[in-house]
Structure 1
């Protein structure tokens, strides 16, 4: 394979103006959203000095998505998806503006978390809606490339957004950070307005949460893709173990701790940059399974890494494997889901992506408390490998070539 074919395929950005505008809007609102995460944590901490309140900030963001995600996905499949997405973006922009106002006027921590929770309600609907757009905006052969571009947009926001947020807060305060957050949502709102109409393709008999759950249970490829992601995140999520591993094995240097998170992100960015090597694969299910297995093995080895540099290299491998697995998983879900169910399948993806890491971090912390962080990492990585192997053996649909 030539170098040009191995690199990130930007064809969707060149050929589809609607996708290009949507991608730019998503990148900017993602950067603004990550800056706002830092601003929320900073303001809540400064006003309460309580780790319980800062922990509640994450809960305020996650609970609405987990609780209402499937209901929002069912609604996405019943209405014009562009119009619904536009409504959710308006809601997020209004919440961002209210966060700005409260920051200028010295709002309280409960008010901040309330606004975060309301904004997350709109995210619960906007996320599934946006995931359905690719099959309407791009031809089937560009679907994998579009998903990889979305992934690198997400990773860029994760890499740059928090650092920008810290710089802005140190310079002009949290209100300035929230103001930028609001402006980026205004751009995302503009891109939503310019999208073409996307009327629902479902009939009344295909609507509803229960119908969506039945579909997810009956479609073996989609079910296997979601279970693979759960196996990787619930069994082998390492983030909560980083401080303990850093203290026990690498002297507790905060610079090393920061590099752990950066290494995962760097690995993901590199994988996205070279995504041409896998986005056109005829067996995206097999690619997904291989990525999940590599994630588990890399994290198990990280648990016994002899040096910090070896650990960072393994985390970079894990980050790259995670990106490969996530892009391939989304490709499987998109290709195996009828348009009438795409909103509900996208909502299930969003819930799995939100809840899996949270539960996985909790699992890792509980195991480490009863043994050690190394045991938690090694056992989690090996359990992930075993679970993914079982899913692969029991789901032949994931190993077969896709028929387009």
Structure 2
């Protein structure tokens, strides 16, 4: 049995990739689950997502219960965001400098221990300790920031290039299920006075993930033969950004998402709408918060066609344009059901965009840069909505919710048209040619010899 990873690139034989079934219809493509190594990775994601979403509800609840201050709840978000940014970037560099299986094991075990400590601190007299809660929250965020890009970086080596879109769709679908079920379950446990259990489920999930990951073979990135040197990993962050500046296609996968989130992320206006426009509708706040995830989950379950998309760049731009149009509709929706429908359409567009952008990063970047590119991806995904909350809240408070949402949606739609015109290499990007593009990308790295041929090939990352 041959390996899907070229041994010259440093990959160890993992498993013969299962060919994607091109005859599948709309149903989600489950062929990557035939690969036993991907199954371990998939069920590890499933085990951790439920608990992680429960912790995202439990931490702000506990902070408010301890302090009675919404301001300190907001500060807690920053406490989690800072290590996410720092270790998202550094973790991606580390993932390109050591065995990725070992790194996933270390971070999963670390997150399990930290979540267990969160559970124990919830039992302290007085309902916990704020300073300790913040420290542990920062550690959980840091471990997750290293673990997630590492998981994404190993997918091409495990399933092969043809299986990457389907594998991403599966992983993102189970994440969306966790986003919906996790908060609901956390609310039930917290309502029963079982804050300890909400954190304990998270610890158990990471422990299960660590046990599953032990069954994977070594997964060193291309060219890594010696032990990790932290100084080299830190320098690798700068090398990653220098590389990214030379790759317009990869750079635009981040730019288009920042535009979509910064100008049209709607979450900041949900509380106001629930108290004003939709005040007469029962549980309007819950439905608003669930709307995007409902659409993303439905799209994930019907994403069989996404695995067959070749013009990935064009479909990403179209999907983000759909997001923008749906947010415009949400901004003027007179009834709750129509608002939730618009949010669901937006979530479906965002799901398509996320699956394909992640696939483009994994396929077009060379193996020894994949960790760093996924690290930047995590930072963008985490930071974009926070910038969007700031923008939407500011405009809604000075003008109106409708102005905030409609203006943002229009900016997003126009911006996607501008990107298509100004960066044709992104619009023309084809998954079928990405293998050649990744070679070109690797050779075009700053300080490396210029490629002898192929740098102008349509669909390559330097096209």
**Superposition TM-score tier, normalisation by shorter sequence:** over 0.9
Ranges in structure 1 where 5+ consecutive residues have no aligned partner: none
Contact 2:281 2:336 in 1 (8 A): no
Match for residue 91 of structure 2?
72
Q: From 243, 254, 262, give the equivalent of 1:226.
A: 254
Q: From 264, 287, 292, give the equivalent of 1:236.
A: 264
Match for residue 121 of structure 1?
142
Match for residue 296 of structure 1?
324
Shift of 1:2: 10
Q: Distance in 1 between matches of 2:416 and 2:87?
A: 28
Match for residue 114 of structure 2?
95
Match for residue 319 of structure 1?
347
Q: From 346, 367, 370, give the equivalent of 2:374.
A: 346
Shift of 1:202: 3.9
Contact 1:202 1:341 in 2 (8 A): no
Match for residue 56 of structure 1?
75
Question: TM-score, with normalisation over the residues of structure 2?
Answer: 0.83
1:25-47 residue CA offsets vs partner (Å, 9 max, x unmatched) = 11111101111222222222221
Q: From 258, 275, 287, give the equivalent of 2:303.
A: 275
**Alignment size in residue pairs:** 403
1:273-311 residue CA offsets vs partner (Å, 9 max, x unmatched) = 111122210111111111100000110121112322222
Match for residue 194 of structure 1?
215
Q: From 111, 126, 132, give the equivalent of 2:132.
A: 111
Match for residue 373 of structure 1?
401
> What secondary structure is seen at the aligned counterpart in 2 of 1:5?
coil
Q: Distance in 2 between matches of 1:315 and 1:124?
A: 27
Q: Distance in 1 between matches of 2:210 and 2:79?
A: 23
State the structure with bigger RCO (CA 8 A, min sep 6), 1 or 2. Answer: 1
Match for residue 32 of structure 2?
12
Mapped pair 1:43 → 2:62: yes
Mapped pair 1:167 → 2:195: no
Shift of 1:234: 0.7
Match for residue 439 of structure 2?
none
Mapped pair 1:28 → 2:47: yes
Q: Distance in 2 between matches of 1:47 and 1:10?
A: 45
Q: Distance in 2 between matches of 1:174 and 1:40?
A: 9
Q: Distance in 2 between matches of 1:140 and 1:70?
A: 24
Contact 2:22 2:308 in 1 (8 A): no
Q: From 413, 429, 451, give the equivalent of 1:385.
A: 413
Ranges in structure 2 where 5+ consecutive residues have no aligned partner: 1-20, 227-231, 436-463
Contact 2:166 2:306 in 1 (8 A): no
- After superposition, the Cα gap between the structure-2 partners of 1:387 and 1:252, relative to the gap in structure 1 and judged at 3 Å, is farther
Shift of 1:147: 0.3
Match for residue 147 of structure 1?
168
Question: TM-score, with normalisation over the residues of structure 1?
Answer: 0.95
